[in-house]
A = this chain, B = another copy of it.
């Protein structure tokens, strides 16, 4: 009976356009870092839009901003959905924004249809997803999940703490409030986020919807290969213990290893330096930063093990010593099968082709998954371009995002 319901696509597209002007840059991008003036203006825009249609707007202790369509059912739980209004510096107009605008549009559509539902609906924008304000992302969702501690609210540069707290205050956030923002899991029924893919897979395949099955965990390490500093002229090539040769061999072989044996895994060697560092000195030490991602916890562990074994093997072959310094380990998040099913049912209803996939980027969803059943879907990013003024998601895909979110939310409310 609600299968025919559609969002107002003109309104959705107009909202995306209007929001893109807040912090908009000359090249068509958006510069709207968390807690900036532009971010505050975007928050006011959201509030105004929601209040204009008589939705209740609230803000929690960490500044997450919610528009609510309440249920009349006693003891109703909340189906929550949304994304984030902040952007990376000089980013694009779809990353985060699409998920918030779609969530708002879903509420307006349901409100206009006067649907009486057995769940509260809450469209939320999370604070500082990108981590530009705090140096570490997913801040609002971590607050909501009770995973923030005081350290997370210290500015990375001590001398800027006062200014940072002033920005927090201007946004309506206090540190005690932020630390007390945890939502009770039993009040939540489900979480759903729609986001642009930020990669090229859907665009390459011409498939409009990616149903996320898991969000990649990320392990990072510093590897140090240590050999001997030699005169680059007088020591024959075959007698050197050249740390850069070892690092280079590892860079090549590790990509092969992941490409050949770990489907669904990716890795990156994003930083390297060698010392002493001179034209005429054979490198003694090479430091290499590596990052490993996989959406499956067990496979991520196996992959890291294989990669570190490879590093050890390379060091042995090249006569080097190896030190491994693990840095961060963000665990993968599995999407809940019932939420995946709800998204896929909604796809069938709307006749939208879809493909299951992992998310290799981090999202608030991975945090919210720790306190409720969570799911996520992607719409295509043209050419996979992301965190750039040139990121683009076609209008039709934005409309699909809104309609699929709407019907996923409706499916999730069905059982009350």
Contacts and interface: CB of A to CB of B under 8 A. Distances in A.
Interface in A186-233: 197-201, 216, 218, 220, 230-233
Interface in A269-294: 269-274, 277-283, 289-291, 293
A281 B282 CA distance: 28
A386 B231 contact: yes
A382 B198 CA distance: 58
Contacts of A252: 245, 248-249, 252
A239 interface: yes
Best-surrounded residue of A234, A244, A266, A361 (most CB of chain B within 10 A): A234
Given A270-B281, A280-B291, A198 B255 contact: no
A104 to B, nearest CB: 26
Contacts of A387: 231
A67 to B, nearest CB: 29
A384 B235 contact: yes
A244 B273 CA distance: 11
A100 to B, nearest CB: 20
A339 to B, nearest CB: 21
Interface string A240-255: 0010110111011001
A266 B236 contact: yes
A201 B283 contact: no
Contact of A272 (B259, B273, B278, B280): B273
Contacts of A57: none
**Which bracket fits the contact residues of A?**
35 or more
A216 B293 CA distance: 47
B199 A386 contact: no
A233 B283 contact: no
Given A231-B361, A291-B280, A259 B247 contact: no
Given A249-B252, A255-B245, A280-B291, A360 B270 contact: no
A238 interface: yes
A269 B246 CA distance: 12
A278 to B, nearest CB: 5
- Name, among A218, A252, A267, A290, the residue most crowded by chain B CB atoms within 10 Å (CB to CB): A252
Contact of A277 (B255, B258, B271, B283): B271
Contacts of A235: 199-200, 384
A414 B114 CA distance: 116
B281 A236 contact: no
Which of A197, A258, A281 has the largest number of chain B CB atoms within 10 A? A281
B232 A291 contact: yes
Nearest to A234: B199
Given A248-B251, A248-B252, A232 B277 contact: no
Contacts of A289: 279
B279 A291 contact: yes
Given A198-B234, A386-B231, A387-B231, A270 B283 contact: yes
A197 B280 contact: no
A71 B272 CA distance: 61
A138 B230 CA distance: 21
A113 interface: no
Nearest to A283: B270
Contacts of A279: 220, 268, 270-271, 289-291, 327
Given A244-B269, A270-B282, 9 more contacts: A199-B231, A199-B233, A201-B236, A218-B280, A238-B259, A245-B252, A270-B277, A271-B279, A273-B273
21 contacts: A199-B233, A199-B234, A200-B239, A201-B236, A220-B279, A231-B386, A233-B359, A233-B361, A233-B362, A234-B386, A235-B384, A237-B259, A244-B270, A245-B252, A249-B252, A268-B281, A269-B283, A270-B282, A272-B274, A279-B291, A280-B291
What 7 pairs between A and B have smallest CB-CB spacing? A233-B360, A199-B234, A232-B268, A248-B248, A248-B251, A279-B291, A198-B234
